[in-house]
């Protein structure tokens, strides 16, 4: 055996070998016939090497067939000293993976001296090819525990003064390899990537001990400094790990070898164009990485959004497990008016208690509105005002019996002065008021639902006021009384603190019903209707309710043909109740009428299909029916409709004598009975589902008229036209605004202003190339609506705007100069600017008369023609917008868009026709319908 070892010793002196992973306890250093371990075989007087043999028997033939292999003490299979490194070919300098028993990377420790024991592994240099080396990290304890057939070989030992420690014949590593210094690297290529062309950073002289029990770190975690990470990995990982802002992340990512941001690093030796280019490159890189980080942050935010639509259907019984909120926010108490502000009765000032004064102030604030001219409004107000005066009479004991003798003008003038004061407030004062308001409302903005933060909708208790109503509401002018905690019932989770009201008082009741989604409930005094506090429209509960509603309408598509067939047959039924039900269904399906409910004596007189009276329907032969009644919110429904002959005959029968004015047309039909019948046709079907179905179906059909190659504005106009048809179908009317004519006239002026700009471009073109008048006869024609009166007025408006802008700029410049402790500009500077503006507009008037405009510098025929073409496109878009505005002036498009049209139709249409969704859905609506954006692609259909 000894002569074999001597033979291999001579071989090892000539050429080093790589080792195979073997088990230390089966090495050649522990021969079966030897009682004590052999000393390591040295490759030279000063070059110790560890010899490791594979696991085989000790017979000479086997030993000869398996040559032992050597693991040198260098990095990636190289010896650490320069002589062996020079002898090794460049191809052998590439990184090698050394896998342990569990696929871990194993460190190659060295033992240069005993004082370096337990020193952490320093950073390895990159190979001469410029490739980043893999870091190999392992603790001493991990190396000791790696045993078995696939364990790594024992590392080499390099020590001239002290032999390596041994344990049971195996060599135990004591210290870790060091990195060669920059002086040891023979060329620039052998430097790590972060060190090229720059001075290496200083490192601490004292080693830092690494706890043996601490788990091994990954490649990313083991890097001691940022400069030695590959740049690609540094940028890719830090954006995800950092918890700071996007700008902070980018700044950190751009650290150089001396730990300073690149943008603020030391100046390079090169100057001039090179340094400028470098700075531009840095800014470009920072911008690119900032975009990446912002994208990652946005993606993280999107991931945090509660995507309830991906959670599956809720059974509908239990809505929540835990519910925490702070109740409702009550308005502040009434502040009495100044003592010198008093209403007058029959010319005499009277002093009212705060309770009566508040009600009088409600009417006084509305003196210049149409409400105070409405007889119903005035009658209802004065009745409630007299009731309040009975309980809280004036101090002068004057009996108020006539509204005409009441003079609320002093109150109105006081409120107007307060409004003017509010308008005159500085930005800081307005900001302070807003901050105080936000601080007061902050606790009420959100609720915790099953530990999830959800925004509330109407968390404020309604303040007292005069009820205005809509349309011809019989209760308009009635006093809405002030709400108190004793009027409100809370719904909240069990075992959670009961919120305390922000005004004195106790809640009417507290319950813990997890089958409902309201948080607070009360009844208002005007119509005796239930009012609720719900989560916001963007909440998961509201979203689930909306989606369920539209999915129910989509399900109706499968059953609607059968339902129509059945009610068409029942139109001729001999059973009068069935005939009435079929006729009502016909109206609900074809006209999108609401079902309607019975009203009490103290409720508003509004009607639906099932509650129509004798006088609400007029027959006009041969088959025309005229509807005229007050619908929801007392909005008038007045339409003439051509119906089937059988339907016309049925209504004639239902109105036959002895029926008279005030009698029900469908006297054998109720809303509950109708919905019960519909539920037998389709589970969960009610008359209301028909409105949603018809609105969405009609909208989808109307959208087919969208011009595929039209402009964005033309496509939006087609969208609004489709929406208008749905609004008309659902009777979503609105009163034409008082300011409509004025705003519409401004839109006309905007179009003419664009034409004015086009006119100036035409004049420049003709001045530059007179022959264009014959070539482009269309441009030579004068605008029909561009008269001198408008142009003079328009130029005056432009001049005033220019003067105002010049003054503001002058003030801003002087403010900045004063802040920098410099001398302000004299008024003569402003006067000179104003003089120039005056001269410019004097020239405009001259151009208008001569119809000659000097072309601007650099103007060409091609450029001017292109500008004219763009201006014509803007004019066309403005005209389309005007026409669209005129068509929809008396129709409320929002109601149908929000409540009746499936939002997925809008999303799909926008994607199909390449129209930005934000032009159709406001930010609030996009927050309300995130599920629609997630589900609908360009091919989605209702």
First vs last C-alpha separation in the chain: 88
Q: Among 223-237, 302-316, 431-445, 603-617, which stretch is predicted with the lowest mean pLDDT?
A: 223-237
Domain 902-942 architecture = Orthogonal Bundle (1.10)
Structure tokens belonging to residue 755: 């034409």
Task: List, for residues 586-621, the tens digit of each pLDDT value.
Answer: 999 999 899 887 555 445 678 899 999 999 999 999
d(CA 698, CA 689): 14
Task: List, for residues 60-107, the tens digit of each pLDDT value.
Answer: 333 333 333 333 333 333 333 333 343 343 334 444 333 333 333 333
Write down the pLDDT at residue 264: 36
Q: Among 222-236, 513-527, 646-660, which stretch is predicted with the lowest mean pLDDT?
A: 222-236
Residue with tokens 């079907």: 685
- Beta-carbon contacts of 175 under 8 Å, excluding residues fewer than 6 positions away, are 109, 110, 111, 112, 116, 117, 118, 119
Write down the pLDDT at residue 520: 95
Looking at per-residue pLDDT, the higher value among 59 and 309 belongs to 309
Looking at per-residue pLDDT, the higher value among 693 and 759 belongs to 693
Catalytic, out of 567, 677, 756, 900: 900
Question: Do 448 and 325 form a contact (C-beta atoms < 8 A)?
Answer: yes
Write down the pLDDT at residue 308: 65
- Residue 470 is classified by DSSP as S
Handedness of CA 671, 672, 675, 680 (dihedral sign): negative
- From residue 769, alpha-carbon distances to 26, 591, 643 in Å are 99, 61, 65
Looking at per-residue pLDDT, the higher value among 616 and 156 belongs to 616
Q: Among 9-23, 458-472, 571-585, 621-635, which stretch is predicted with the lowest mean pLDDT?
A: 9-23
Task: Based on the residue annotation, tell me whether 900 is a catalytic residue of this protein.
Answer: yes
> Which residues are paired to 786 by β-bridges?
none
Q: How far is CA 547 from the centre of its chain?
A: 19
> Which residues are paired to 624 by β-bridges?
620, 642
CATH 1.10.132.10 placement within the chain: 902-942
Confidence of residue 168 (pLDDT cuts 50, 70, 90): very low
- Beta-carbon contacts of 804 under 8 Å, excluding residues fewer than 6 positions away, are none
In 666-782, the DSSP E strands lie at: none
In 705-775, the DSSP E strands lie at: none
Closest by CA to 880, choosing from 654, 714, 652, 637, is: 714
Question: Do 876 and 711 form a contact (C-beta atoms < 8 A)?
Answer: yes
Structure tokens belonging to residue 834: 């104003």
Write down the pLDDT at residue 914: 93
In 378-418, the DSSP E strands lie at: 406-407
Write down the pLDDT at residue 142: 40
Question: Do 437 and 509 form a contact (C-beta atoms < 8 A)?
Answer: no
DSSP secondary structure, 551-606, as one string: HHHHHHTTTHHHHHHHHHHHTT-SSHHHHHHHHHHHHHHHH---------TTS---
- pTM value? 0.58
Question: What average pLDDT does the structure give for the chain?
Answer: 73
Task: List, for residues 359-371, the tens digit of each pLDDT value.
Answer: 999 999 999 998 9
Q: If you average pLDDT over residues 647-665, what whole number do you get?
A: 93
Write down the pLDDT at residue 784: 67
Q: Among 117-121, 354-358, 443-447, which stretch is predicted with the lowest mean pLDDT?
A: 117-121
Looking at per-residue pLDDT, the higher value among 624 and 60 belongs to 624
Confidence of residue 310 (pLDDT cuts 50, 70, 90): low
CATH 3.90.15.10 placement within the chain: 8-170+573-703
Closest by CA to 125, choosing from 74, 86, 87, is: 74
Structure tokens belonging to residue 625: 């029916």
Write down the pLDDT at residue 719: 93
- Beta-carbon contacts of 878 under 8 Å, excluding residues fewer than 6 positions away, are 747, 750, 751, 754
Confidence of residue 165 (pLDDT cuts 50, 70, 90): very low
Domain 8-170+573-703, CATH class in plain words: alpha beta
Residue 302 has pLDDT above 50, yes or no: no
Closest by CA to 893, choosing from 656, 734, 711, is: 734
Write down the pLDDT at residue 305: 65
Task: List, for residues 24-38, the tens digit of each pLDDT value.
Answer: 443 334 333 334 343
Residue 770 has pLDDT above 80, yes or no: yes
Confidence of residue 284 (pLDDT cuts 50, 70, 90): low
Which range scores top for mean pLDDT: 259-273, 592-606, 910-924?
A: 910-924
The pLDDT > 90 percentage for the chain reads 38
């Amino acid at each position: 055996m000894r002569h074999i070892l001597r033979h291999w010793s001579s071989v090892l002196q000539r050429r080093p070998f790589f080792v195979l992973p073997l088990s230390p306890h089966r090495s050649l250093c522990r021969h079966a016939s030897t009682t004590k371990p052999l000393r390591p075989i040295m490759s030279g007087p000063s070059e110790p090497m560890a010899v490791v043999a594979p696991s085989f028997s000790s017979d000479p033939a086997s030993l000869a067939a398996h040559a032992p292999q050597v693991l040198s003490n260098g990095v990636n299979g190289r010896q650490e000293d320069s002589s062996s490194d020079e002898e090794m070919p460049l191809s052998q300098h590439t990184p090698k993976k050394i896998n342990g028993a569990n696929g871990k990377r194993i460190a190659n420790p060295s033992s240069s001296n005993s004082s370096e024991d337990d020193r952490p592994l320093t950073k390895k240099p990159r190979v001469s090819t410029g490739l980043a080396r893999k870091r190999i990290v392992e603790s001493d304890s991990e190396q000791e525990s790696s045993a078995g057939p696939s364990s790594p070989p024992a590392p080499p030992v390099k020590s001239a003064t002290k032999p390596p420690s041994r344990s049971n014949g195996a060599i135990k590593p004591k210290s870790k390899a060091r990195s060669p210094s920059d002086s040891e690297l023979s060329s620039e290529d052998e430097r790590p990537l972060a060190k090229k062309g720059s001075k290496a950073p200083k490192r601490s002289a004292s080693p830092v001990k690494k706890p043996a029990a601490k788990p091994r770190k990954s490649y990313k975690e083991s890097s001691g400094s940022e400069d030695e990470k590959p740049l690609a990995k540094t940028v890719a990982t830090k954006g995800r790990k950092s918890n700071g802002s996007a700008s902070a992340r980018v700044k950190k990512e751009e650290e150089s070898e001396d730990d300073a941001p690149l943008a603020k690093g030391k100046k390079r030796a090169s100057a001039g164009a090179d340094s400028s280019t470098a700075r531009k490159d840095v800014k470009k890189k920072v911008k690119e990485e900032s975009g990446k980080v912002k994208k990652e942050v946005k993606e993280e935010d999107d991931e945090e959004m509660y995507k309830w639509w991906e959670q599956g259907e809720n059974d509908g019984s239990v809505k929540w497990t835990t519910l925490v909120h702070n109740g409702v926010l009550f308005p502040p108490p009434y502040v009495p008016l100044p003592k010198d502000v008093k209403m007058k009765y029959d010319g005499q000032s009277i002093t009212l208690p705060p309770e009566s004064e508040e009600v009088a102030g409600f009417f006084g604030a509305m003196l210049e509105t149409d409400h105070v001219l409405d007889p119903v409004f005035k009658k209802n107000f004065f009745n409630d005002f007299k009731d309040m005066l009975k309980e809280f009479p004036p101090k002068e004991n004057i009996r108020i019996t006539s509204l005409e003798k009441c003079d609320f003008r002093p109150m109105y003038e006081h409120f107007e002065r307060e409004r003017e004061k509010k308008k005159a407030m500085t930005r800081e004062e307005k900001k302070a008021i807003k901050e105080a308001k936000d601080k007061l409302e902050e606790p009420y903005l959100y609720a915790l639902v099953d530990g999830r933060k959800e925004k509330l909708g109407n968390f404020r208790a309604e303040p007292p006021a005069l009820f205005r109503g809509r349309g011809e509401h019989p209760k308009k002018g009635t006093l809405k009384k002030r709400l108190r905690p004793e009027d409100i019932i809370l719904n909240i989770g069990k075992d959670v603190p009961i919120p305390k009201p922000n005004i004195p008082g106790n809640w009417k009741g507290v319950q813990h019903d997890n089958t409902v989604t309201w948080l607070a409930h009360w009844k208002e005094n005007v119509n005796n209707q239930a009012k609720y506090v719900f989560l916001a429209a963007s909440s998961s509960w509201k979203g689930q309710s909306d989606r369920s509603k539209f999915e129910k309408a989509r399900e109706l598509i499968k059953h609607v043909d059968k339902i129509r067939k059945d009610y068409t047959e029942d139109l001729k039924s001999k059973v009068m109740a069935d005939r009435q039900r079929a006729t009502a269904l016909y109206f609900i399906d074809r006209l999108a009428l609401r079902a309607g409910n019975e009203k009490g004596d103290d409720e508003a007189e509004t009607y639906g299909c099932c509650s129509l009276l004798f006088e609400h329907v007029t027959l006009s032969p041969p088959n025309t029916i005229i509807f005229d009644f007050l619908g929801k919110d007392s909005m008038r429904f007045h339409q003439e409709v051509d119906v089937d002959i059988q339907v016309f005959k049925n209504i004639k029968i239902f109105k036959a004598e002895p029926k008279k004015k005030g009698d029900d047309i469908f006297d054998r039909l109720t809303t509950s009975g109708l919905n019960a019948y519909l539920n037998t046709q389709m589970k969960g079907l009610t008359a209301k589902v028909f409105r949603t179905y018809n609105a969405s179906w009609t909208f989808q059909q109307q959208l087919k008229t969208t011009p595929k190659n039209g402009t964005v504005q033309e496509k939006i106009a087609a969208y609004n036209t489709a929406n208008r048809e749905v609004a008309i179908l659902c009777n979503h009317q609105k009163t034409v605004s008082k300011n409509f004519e004025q705003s519409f006239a401004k839109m006309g002026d905007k179009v003419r202003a664009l034409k004015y700009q086009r006119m100036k471009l035409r004049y420049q073109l003709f001045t530059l190339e007179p022959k264009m008048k014959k070539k482009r006869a269309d441009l030579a024609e004068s605008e029909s609506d561009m008269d001198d009166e408008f142009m003079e007025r328009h130029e005056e408006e432009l001049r005033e705007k220019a003067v105002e802008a010049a003054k503001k700029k002058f003030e801003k410049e002087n403010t900045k100069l004063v802040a920098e402790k410099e001398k302000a500009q004299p008024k003569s500077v402003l006067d000179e600017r104003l003089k120039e503006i005056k001269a410019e507009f004097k020239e405009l008037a001259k151009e208008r008369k001569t119809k000659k405009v000097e072309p601007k510098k650099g103007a060409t025929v091609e450029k001017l023609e292109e500008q004219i073409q763009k201006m014509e496109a803007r004019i066309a878009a403005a005209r389309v917008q005007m026409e669209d505005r005129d068509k929809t002036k008396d129709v409320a498009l929002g109601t149908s868009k929000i409540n009746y049209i499936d939002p997925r139709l809008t999303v799909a249409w926008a994607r199909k026709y390449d129209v930005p969704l934000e032009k159709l859905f406001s930010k609030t609506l996009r927050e309300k319908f995130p599920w629609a954006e997630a589900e609908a692609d360009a091919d989605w259909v209702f």
